[in-house]
Amino acid sequence: MGGGISSVDVDPTHVLRGHSGPVLCVALSSVMRLAASGSRDGTVAVYTLRDGKRVRVLRKPNDVQVEHVVLADSGHVLFSGTAGGRLHLFTVNGLCVWSWTSTSAGISALSLTPCGGGLVCGFDDGQLCVWRLLDRQPIVTYEPAPAPVVCLAVTDAQVLVGTSRAELMAYLPPPRCDGGRAGTGGC
């Protein structure tokens, strides 16, 4: 092949199965060597990266489609469903750590802080909050965006928020965290 393009096998290495509805979101953790997928069927499937085997299926009763899934290197799976802005944190072993339902706006974006101990959550009403991952204690509530949050990215230097009004807003990052251990500052 010419032109600087290298030869690579373009076929999938694995086909991961485990949902009865369309897959809406995916997440990876190279530290845990796991992948997770969320589906319209209301389930989150967890797979090994090495061989693509399904190791767990997570479901919260009465939940509808899973729109966001995040894998935390601490051994946790975080996902949100569409009905009422529900948010759930499970261990990769399938134990529910906590569940929460927003009483106002729906959850529209999720991310973890770079340390992995903080959860950054964007909402349909423009709200942007950071909580400790393991106990959902508040760390920072930012000034709301002027439109619904549709996506976000978090680094040590900033929190970038994309809105439905075609704006990209930059916020200062939350306090540096320690992985969420109780009794310490930050997340």
Within 8 A by CB and 6+ apart from 40, the residues are 19, 21, 22, 24, 65, 66
Residue intervals of the chain classified under CATH 2.120.10.30 are 1-101
In this prediction, residue 18 has a pLDDT band, given cuts at 50, 70 and 90, of confident
Return the structure tokens found at 118.
């903080």
pTM attached to this predicted model: 0.86
Question: What pLDDT is stored for residue 68 in this prediction?
Answer: 93
What is the DSSP code string of 129-141?
A: EEEETTT--EEEE
Q: Which of 48, 59, 64, 63 is nearest to 13 (CA)?
A: 48
Tokens 């190279």, residue? 30
Tokens 């970038």, residue? 160
Indicate if the pLDDT at residue 15 is higher than 90. Answer: no
Return the structure tokens found at 138.
């508040």
Look over the chain and give the mean of its residue pLDDT values, rounded to a whole number. Answer: 88
Tens-digit pLDDT profile for residues 53-77: 999 999 987 767 899 999 999 999 9
In this prediction, residues 25-46 reach a mean pLDDT of: 95
In this prediction, residues 36-57 reach a mean pLDDT of: 94
In this prediction, residue 181 has a pLDDT band, given cuts at 50, 70 and 90, of very low
Residue intervals of the chain classified under CATH 2.40.10.480 are 111-187
Indicate if the pLDDT at residue 22 is higher than 50. Answer: yes
Q: Which of 98, 103, 109, 99 is nearest to 70 (CA)?
A: 109
Q: Which fold has domain 1-101?
A: Neuraminidase (2.120.10)
User: Which CATH number, 2.40.10.480, 3.30.70.1400, 3.40.1390.10, 3.30.2130.30, labels domain 111-187?
Assistant: 2.40.10.480
Q: What is the spatial order of strands in the sheet that 96-101 belongs to?
A: 66-72, 76-81, 86-91, 96-101
Tens-digit pLDDT profile for residues 92-132: 999 999 999 888 889 999 999 999 999 999 999 999 999 99
